[in-house]
Amino acid sequence: MLRISAFVFMALALGGCSDQWGWYVVDPTTASGYANLKFLLSGLYYTVLLSLTAISISIVVGLLVALPGLSEKKLLRGFNRTYVELVRAVPILVLILWIYYGLPQVSGLTITVFWAGVIALALSDSAFQAEIFRAGIQSVDRGQNEASQSISLNYADTMRFVILPQAIRRILPALGNQLVYMLKMSSLVSVIGMEELTRKANELVVVEYRPLEIYTVLVLEYLVLILIVSAGVRWLERRMNADARR
Amino acid sequence: MVQIEGISRFYGNFAALKSVSLDIAQGERVVICGPSGSGKSTLIRCINRLEKHNEGRIFLSGVELNDSKASEEVLRTGVGMVFQQFNLFPHLTVLDNLTLGPIRARGMTRKDAETLAMTYLDRVHIADQAEKYPRQLSGGQQQRVAIARSLCMEPKILLFDEPTSALDPEMIREVLDVMVELAESGITMVCVTHEMGFARKVADRMVFMDKGEIVETAPPETFFSAPKSARCKDFLEKILGH
């Protein structure tokens, strides 16, 4: 495995010097290269907006689905299981296509590309969020619930002030993972015409016919974006832990 | 104050409590002891409905405890509990641990709640630790904070579930001292403990439980000097033996 990746790396590095590569398409010192680069980066806005909107919704939905999963009532637990199993089983790409092309036919509503993407990504992610929240809440000691009950907190207050603050601290790494995953999966929304990073790259490839360089830039765009997110999540983790240890 | 009428609690086929009856008068201090697994904890946990009894009835200030609104209301400020494992909220400061209940459940303003909290922290001799987090305190200090937290709800009756069992020996004393002071203040107390010195000092009545039943009830003088049942004699010999 190591040998193969070393080989691939060497091939790429050598290729950089050979005439296989034509970096001129994205050379910022030339006018056309600069324009191309700017065009590629212009997809950043929708990639970020799409991912952040979708993850915000999926966290809320995920929590709302997780809570009945922790109930003593069989019916509520059944709802949680059904939701998670059903939603988790649909591939994201299929969900995007179904919501954009299929849903308007049944509902009669027209849906924009952006909202079709947000709904598909959020729905798909919410099943995973629900499992993460359920595990996080279950990991909080039962005594915390009993203590809350003994000072007469109701269910909502117990969750809000006692259980969730402790659970969220524990699931923060998993939530960070989901955000990274969401940023990557947002590339799929390009198939219905969302003008995000991947779509922009595809459009440029059709014009310039230099897929190698353009897709390499695309890879780097996602890499930088995700490294920033990772650093952000780690910073948040450190801050919360420092809070707890003070 | 509390009337327990023939309650039973089952876990599957196992009966943790078998038709237990007990009356607790206002201001009375009851100490419950017995071997582990005898149902002592289950009994007091039924009084604040952390456990729900399957049979029989419990009345608190004349209101039957069940799933009704009236029962919820009488429990709200009626019963406080101190746990073996303290169960403080680790992400909140000592002060916030104490004010959460008064603010959210009793509708007090933050300012009033903080004044109240400081009064009770002072009473358990730990007012100087108000801004700290639980993990920065010793076990004995944490348990005293937990006692103050339940006092902040100003309950009519305070339940203790083996409050010193999780403590290092040198910290047991400071918690017991606070409990003795509380007992002298006249609050109704039901205490599950193995601290017989404490029991002798404050109990109005001793209750001995074994295998889910109350075997013997007696004032401490006769309980310790002349236990009636063989099981109770045996238990006392074991824990007072050396």
pLDDT per position as a tens digit, B139-152: 999 999 999 999 99
- For residue B226, the model assigns a pLDDT of 86
Scan for tokens 């310790």, then name that residue: B224
> Which of the residues B89, B149, B151, B154 would you substitute to probe the A interface, choosing the one with the greatest number of A C-beta atoms within 10 Å?
B89
Q: How far apart (Å, rounded) are the C-alpha atoms in residues B224 and B214? A: 16
Measure in Å the smallest separation between the Cα of A162 and chain B Cα atoms.
Answer: 7
A4 band by pLDDT with thresholds 50, 70 and 90: low
Structure token digits, residue A85: 């199993």
In terms of CA atoms, which chain B residue is nearest residue A244? B91
Question: Chain A to chain B, count of Cβ pairs less than 8 Å apart?
Answer: 65
The chain A residue lying nearest B104, using CA atoms, is: A153
Tokens 């970020």 belong to residue: A48
Confidence at residue A114, expressed as pLDDT on a 0 to 100 scale: 96
Q: Which of A67-76, A197-206, B73-82 has the lowest mean pLDDT?
A: B73-82
Is the predicted pLDDT of residue B202 greater than 70, yes or no? yes
Given a cut of 90, is residue B94 above it in pLDDT? yes
Single-letter residue type at B14: F
Section A141-156 average pLDDT: 93
B21 confidence band (pLDDT: 50, 70, 90): very high
| B202 and B180 Cβ atoms separated by less than 8 Å | yes
pLDDT number for residue A3: 62
pLDDT in the model for residue A17: 55
Alpha helices in A18-163 (DSSP H): 31-41, 44-69, 74-88, 92-97, 103-107, 113-138, 142-150, 155-157
Give the residue from B86, B87, B106, B161 with the most A CB atoms within 10 Å of its CB, the best one to mutate: B87
- B182-216 burial, b if ≥16 CB within 10 A, otherwise e? bbeeebbbbbbbbbbebbeebbebbbbbbebbbbb
Q: Own/partner pairs for A63-72, CB < 8 Å, 24+ apart?
A: A63/A129, A63/A130, A63/A133, A65/A126, A65/A127, A65/A129, A65/A130, A66/A129, A66/A130, A66/A131, A66/A132, A66/A133, A66/A134, A66/A137, A67/A159, A69/A130, A69/A134, A70/A134, A70/A137, A70/A138
Q: What are phi and psi of B21, to 5 degrees?
A: -125, 140
> How sure is the predictor about B71, in pLDDT bands with cuts at 50, 70 and 90?
confident
pLDDT above 70: residue A246: no
pLDDT score, position A233: 92
Q: Amino acid identity, residue A118?
A: V
How many other C-beta atoms lie within 10 A of the C-beta of residue B166?
Answer: 14
Residue B53 φ/ψ region, left for φ over 0, alpha for ψ in the -120 to 50 degree band, beta for the rest: beta
Per-residue pLDDT at A243: 62
Return d(Cα B15, Cα A48) in angstroms, integer: 58
Q: Which two tokens stand for residue B208?
A: 């001995």
Burial A107-146 (b: 16+ CB within 10 A, else e): eeeebebbebbbbbbbbbbbbbbbbbbbebbeebeeebbb
Spatial separation of the C-alpha atoms in residues A95 and A90, rounded to whole Å = 6
For chain A, what percent of residues have pLDDT higher than 90?
A: 78
Taking residues B62-68, what's their average pLDDT? Answer: 89
pLDDT tier, A38 (very low <50, low <70, confident <90, very high otherwise): very high
User: Are the beta carbons of B83 and B89 closer than 8 angstroms?
Assistant: no
* DSSP letter string, B134-167: GGGS-HHHHHHHHHHHHHTT--SEEEEESTTTTS
Nearest-by-CA chain B residue for A141: B87
- In this structure, the strands spanning B188-192 and B157-161 are parallel
pLDDT classification of A13: cutoffs 50, 70, 90: low
Q: What is the pLDDT of residue A173?
A: 92
The confidence score (pLDDT) of residue A27 equals 87
Average pLDDT, chain A: 90
Residue B72: per-residue pLDDT: 84
Dihedral through CA A200, CA A202, CA A203, CA A208, nearest 10? 120
Neighbour count for residue A29 (Cβ, 10 Å)? 7
Nearest neighbour of B87 by CB, restricted to A144, A152, A169: A144
From CA B74, how far away is CA B110, in angstroms rounded? 24
| Confidence (pLDDT) at B120 | 93
Interface of A with B (CB under 8 A): 141, 143-144, 146-147, 149-154, 157, 161-162, 165-166, 169, 243-246
Instruction: Give the pLDDT of residue B242.
Output: 59
Q: What is the pLDDT of residue B159?
A: 95
Per-residue model confidence (pLDDT) at position A14: 54
C-alpha to C-alpha distance for A153 and A125, rounded to whole angstroms: 31
